[in-house]
Amino acid sequence: MKKVLLYLLIAISPIIIYSIFGVIFVGNHSWMISLTLPSIFVLSFLLFNKTGKKEHLKLGLTIILPIFLIFFITSFFASFSRTLMYLIFVPISVYLGWLFSNRKSILIIIFSFFLFAFVGIILFPNLFVLQNNIGAHKNEAFDGISLINKNKESIELDKSKIIVLDFWTTSCGICFKKFPDLEKYYLEFKDNPNVEFYSINVPLKRDEFSKVVKLVDELNYKFPTFYATSIKEVENLGIYAYPHLLILKNGKLRYDGRLETDKYIFVNHLKSEINKLINE
């Protein structure tokens, strides 16, 4: 009976580890996977190190199977890019824990922790971005959108240039966190006469135009801000979540996806998308 309870505890331990990091990092999977994998590695090493070799296969399956099944089932209902990394690297972390328990080589520890950091910081976020930007590259007519400046004067975008449009709302916390990055790239391309940046505020029912204008003035960013006149018109463009990035060139829609500015993102990054359009 004690052995059954022990194996039950072992089976749920990776799930508990994952859940704890989920609470601590509020669902930020880059941090969660970066710390879940080494924790499972350490747990596996300790368990394999105290168990006879005849029990190793059963022990390994006990560690892996419950959390593997949870992610496998979840993959049918949630983002596959999130679950895929766990499905691949949880078994690998257990295997590396087993390997270290047998060989006791410091090189295994160094390799393992570099691997886990790479998965969390580079591989996971880039796969997530890639999946969430499927179909973002376009080459189609853009019907336009009604825009005004803070004086409620109508604005026409220059169809001869590359136009970067960052759509945001006052309720979008991530949008405000992205503004410093948008400012950075605005300043980087500021001297290129063929590239223009605009932040586009999308009006919500609760918004008062004068208060939104005041908010933008207080933020005091250098990139110009225009205001959409109707959220319905924005939704007609297929934009329902924010921040959202549109890039136009010669009056055509060339990019329609997420606003990616993180320095560890190498696919669909704002800077790389602009440079591709400049150089084509």
pLDDT per position as a tens digit, 198-229: 999 999 999 999 999 999 999 999 999 999 99
pLDDT per position as a tens digit, 143-183: 889 999 999 999 999 989 999 999 999 999 999 999 999 99
Residues 232, 236, 241, 243, CA torsion sign = negative
Phi, psi for residue 170 in degrees, rounded to 5: -70, -15
What pLDDT band is residue 128 in, cutting at 50, 70 and 90? confident
pTM: 0.81
Q: pLDDT at residue 80 above 80?
A: no
Q: What is the CA radius of gyration of the chain?
A: 24
Longest pairwise C-alpha distance within the chain = 78
pLDDT per position as a tens digit, 106-125: 999 999 999 999 999 999 99
pLDDT at 26: 85
Sort strands 154-155 and 162-168 into parallel, antiparallel or unpaired: unpaired
Average model confidence (pLDDT) across the chain:
93
Enumerate helices (H) and strands (E) in the chain, giving the number of each: 10, 8
Of 90, 82, 92, 94, the C-alpha closest to 129 is 82
- Using DSSP's 3-state secondary structure scheme, residue 252 falls into strand
Query: Per-residue pLDDT averaged across 44-71, rounded?
Result: 94
77 or 249, greater pLDDT? 249
Q: Which domains does the chain have, with CATH numbers?
A: 2-132 (no CATH), 137-279 (3.40.30.10)
Cβ count within 10 A of residue 190: 13
Q: pLDDT at residue 81 above 80?
A: no
